[in-house]
Chains A and B, each alone.
Chain A
Amino acid sequence: MMESVLELLGPELYYGALTPALKIAVLLFVGILPVITYLVLAERKILGYIQVRLGPNRVGPWGLLQPIADVMKLLVKEDVIPNRAIRWAFILAPCLVVGPAFVIFAVIPVGPPAAEPGGLDLFITDVNVGLLFIVAMATIAVYGLIIGGWSSNSKFSLLGGLRSAAQMISYEVPQGFALVAALLLAGSMSMVGIVEAQKAAGVWFVFPQFLGFFIYFVAGVAESNRNPFDLPEAESELVAGYHTEYSGMRFALFFLGEYANMIVISAVAVTLYFGGWYRPFPNVEALSFLDFPFLPAGLVAVFWFAVKVFAFLFVYIWFRGTFPRYRFDQLMDLGWKWMIPLALLNIFLTALFKLVL
């Protein structure tokens, strides 16, 4: 069937427009959105289990339909725009949070590139400056938070917006530095290239780059405003931070953005430090049963990628269940006095290492 479509459209249109569009649709509606909704359920369940209770279990068996009910509720809820809010900005802000988070998925490879030309690449596109693209896109999200906090014209929102601005800007720096070190090691900015470099090296980059990974992940938690760095929306302090005044679908978009960000951070961490879609120890023949030879290779790749990402997401939730929240100045302190010097040191060491080799 695909051949007939290819013939019908011609290769240019087929490869240039249809396949990416299809992939985007599949990724968005089969991949990210359900994953996010169920991630919320998983978070509530895991938090519940950590807190010796059961979590949601009323809607459907084991609460499995809870996310659908939640989405329905958020969709039909009244969408309130405060009187004094700056309307255009108020409406724009949630889109600015969600958009970039989704765009980043374009360059994240969930599986290997096509084995033969014309086959199916398990990513939307492989940009040769993929890492740069990710950093650039992640930066845009902060505008959403600031604009959201400011345009609500509420004091708590404003404080939340200010906090998020300061926090995201100061943690982007160490995050970028940590990525630089991984990039030095891989010698490529393409996400696929980095994964392949790990396979070629025979080792996940988390081992030579442990410090870098640590900095990246901590900064990532801060970037996605998650506990213990959830200051912009600290419930007990700022009511709900920058989205205090949001309700209904607009609030859902902020919500979506936060969870999409979590997945992005995890996915990038997996790609950069944990060998992407490859099974653990891809060069050790003895473990080849982990490739599940009886299954299609693409599926296995996606499986391993997903497993790794979910491990990260679990850690996120685990953190949320365990840690108290930092204070604003302590957060800055940690970012500027510890993370950035350590990240610089990491780059220096990595460069030295490269040089000596």
Chain B
Amino acid sequence: MNDEPKKPGQDELPADEGGAETTPESPEADAPEAAEADDQAKAEAKAKAEAVAKAKAAAEAKAAAEAAKPPWEKLPVAPEDEDATDDPLVAALREQHGEAIESAFLCAGDLRVQVARSAIADVCRSLKIDHDFTMAEDLCGVHYPGREVGEFEVVYHLYNIPENRRLRLKVAAGEGESVPTVALVHRGFNWLEREAYDMYGIRFEGHPDMTRILLWEGFNGYPLRKDFPVEGIDTGSAIYPEYYDESAGPVTGTGTGWRPQPPPEPEPEPGAAAGEAEEGEG
């Protein structure tokens, strides 16, 4: 919006992360003043370039310019998975839990370990006790409808404060399968597991208080599942059966709800006509 052009000479900085050492006389610096100043030189260069094989040179220059650009001017490249089976932590876990550690990848700096469903509590416990992953950072569910290994995935984030290391554990669970609770290992996972249950209906076995947390106890369905409708949810029948038929409670998205309504009838406003007239002149 207000991306005011900067002076081209200051485009690159000492503090950037390596690579870009060249002075940016690159044409990418789209500053009109600079373009004017360089006009003549450009014209000459153009004339010469016409003589030689134009396409090839242009391509080369482009490639060179591309390489010389600071990282934020290149097109982004999404980080990719690297196999991390030989990571010492993974190796140690493998030793302890054997086949329960299914795979391990390193992606964008985070270690990601797929764990068998039944072993997750034990893995968390050994991570906490032996490997100092004491901080319960996050737990959430993900829904992959129709996935073979299990529709749901529970993602755990653990943090090792002394080593500043984050670990992501993943557990697959099918519909109706329950995951062993880790709320007894890290008490911080208590509410997070309740939330995952609330949102996805993933049951956690052995959890001390497996109730809904954010939604109310009479809510029908699990809203973060992919097949959950965004509009037209009945919200009352389960808890007020005496008032509402099944799945016939007050439904969101109806009545005076947030549906776009037809434009209101034009109202004869005394000021409106004058305003229109003035605006017509302008």
A and B touching (C-beta < 8 Å)? no
Name A residues whose Cβ lies closer than 8 Å to a Cβ of B. Answer: none
